[in-house]
Amino acid sequence: MVEFTEKGYLHLTAEEAARFPTHTVIALLRDDELWLMPVRRAASGGLLLKQINRRGDRSLFVEELFRDRPGGYPVGKRSGRWDEERGAFIIPLEPARPFRGTSGTRKP
């Protein structure tokens, strides 16, 4: 279970974050899903998964990805799943609700 926070962060459990051994990801919005894909080498770039507690749960800032999304930035918990065929951790986003985030009002 992942959580989109009101401050624009996506929290992953340590178990979910273990799919990303370099602690960096590529994040893509595809239709009504957020895809997180591992980066093979940290030097290649990507978004950093920051450790947020001793359990190894991690967090990354994703709010800026939702700037142009009609549904806005989702807040709350969502189920995610690893898709072996696509090599991505996929998080369904619907139903989304508009959210006033850290960088302004989102349009519905």
Mean pLDDT of successive 10-residue segments in the chain (108 residues)?
A: 96 97 95 94 85 98 92 92 97 66 45
Per-residue pLDDT, 71: 81
Per-residue pLDDT, 106: 41
| Residue 54: domain span | 2-100
106 lies in a domain?
no
Domain count within the chain: 1
Whole-prediction pTM: 0.83
Per-residue pLDDT, 40: 87
Residues 6+ apart with CB under 8 A from 43: none
Per-residue pLDDT, 101: 52
87 lies in a domain?
yes
Task: Check: CB of residue 86 under 8 Å from CB of residue 35.
Answer: yes
